[in-house]
Amino acid sequence: MNKNIAVIKGDGIGPEIVTEAMKVLDKTAEKFGHSFAYEQLLMGGCSIDVNGVPLTDETIEKAKAADAVLMGSIGGNTSTSPWYKLPADKRPEAGLLKLRKSLGLFANLRPAVLYSQLRGACPLKEEISAKGFDMMIMRELTGGLYFGARKTEEVDGVMTAVDTLSYNENEIRRIAVRAFDIAMKRRKKVISVDKANVLDSSRLWRKIVNEVAESYPEVTVEHMLVDNCAMQLVKDPAQFDVILTENMFGDILSDEASMITGSIGMLASASLNETKFGLYEPSGGSAPDIAGQNKANPIATILSAAMMLRYSFDMDKEADAIENAVSAVLNEGYRTGDIMSEGMKLVSCSEMGTLIAERV
Ligand code: IPM
Ligand code: MG
């Protein structure tokens, strides 16, 4: 198959980790007789430097025209980078939010799996980590607080800022359907996370999730308050199969889930629209402190590329080959700095990419 992939390397460690993912994709294409053509696009800080804005309309059109988008990470140090002197809607993150919205990427899949080889890197007590865990966080990505009206103004002489958390039933229904569909292919359990003891948007969320659940009699559904979920993730992560939640809760909980896998450098993600189209990026940020040092962990990006093959291109065995290659390299004891432990072999970002590509 021939596929056109739009590539947004982005800022910080983005270029390093995406280069390794492309190395692995090229090896996969060669092995399975496919051809992947890449078009590199600018987004985030690097686009501000060249175009004055974090995302141009031309970039959006090119991304839309591709079969899928592979992304690294965007943004810089929020205290020191000149990008953060710009108005909020001109900063790197605004480009990412606009891209998600323009491409209709409402369903964000973030799988958090504890690799048995990395149990030592899990910060939880051994009696908890010994049980392992394998969860899929389904985060709503184009609604809620991220996209509601916001303003900062003086009210009666007092500076006041407002952000709006709004969801309509259609937005909730379509993400819930995705979550139940995915649960059917997994362990058939959805835990929907909300704050229904306080928020109207959460009460509607719960109602619609229950309605959707009626069409999936085989799937068990449970509702959990977000503060309790934050607690349960470190107390008993094995209980989770699919976590279904709104945008902001999903942002926070997915960072927490990634940390208990040992490192945020292990967490892949897929952002999908109504069709097979998707944007694939590691869940972690641009890590400006280690950028350009060939130290970053490219595994989350490589696993995101595997998700691209699986979800957008229907290339299941190719995706399996990449995931197995990652497992093999970990079995052989190779580690980047973030997941390093005693007795293991420390490798650079590019060495890790090469090792995985060789094992595809
Ligand atoms: C993520 C990131 C983004 C988000 C930022 C960079 C806007 O934290 O993908 O989780 O909050 O969605
Ligand atoms: Mg985040």
Q: Which of 78, 93, 271 gets mutated to test ligand 1 (max ligand atoms within 8 A of its CB)? A: 93
Task: Give the pLDDT score at 170.
Answer: 98
**pLDDT tens-place string over residues 333-357:** 999 999 998 999 999 999 999 999 9
As a whole-number percent, the residues of the chain with pLDDT over 90 amount to: 95
Question: How far away, in angstroms, is 283 Cα from ligand 1 center?
Answer: 8
Question: How far away, in angstroms, is 191 Cα from ligand 1 center?
Answer: 22
Tell me the β-bridge partners of 192: 223, 244
| Residue 317 bears catalytic tag | no
Q: Which residue has the tokens 């709104």?
A: 246
pTM value is: 0.94
Q: Average per-residue pLDDT in the chain?
A: 97
Whether 281 and 73 have beta carbons less than 8 Å apart is answered as yes
Q: What is the C-alpha radius of gyration for the chain, rounded to an integer number of angstroms?
A: 20
pLDDT bucket at 262, cuts 50 / 70 / 90: confident
Task: Give the pLDDT score at 167.
Answer: 98
Q: Is 90 exceeded by the pLDDT of residue 186?
A: yes
DSSP string, 54-113: SS-HHHHHHHHHSSEEEEEE----TTT-GGGGS-GGGSHHHHHHHHHHHTT--EEEEEEE
Give the number of the atom of ligand 1 that is nearest the alpha carbon of residue 141: 12
Q: Which ligand is nearest to the CA of 96?
A: 1
Question: How far away, in angstroms, is 157 Cα from ligand 1 center?
Answer: 33
CB-based pocket (< 6 A), ligand 1: 75, 93, 96, 251, 283
Task: Give the pLDDT score at 221.
Answer: 98
* Ordered structural domains, the chain, with CATH: 1-107+263-360 (3.40.718.10), 123-138+164-260 (3.40.50.2300)
**pLDDT tens-place string over residues 95-132:** 999 999 999 999 999 999 999 889 888 999 999 999 99
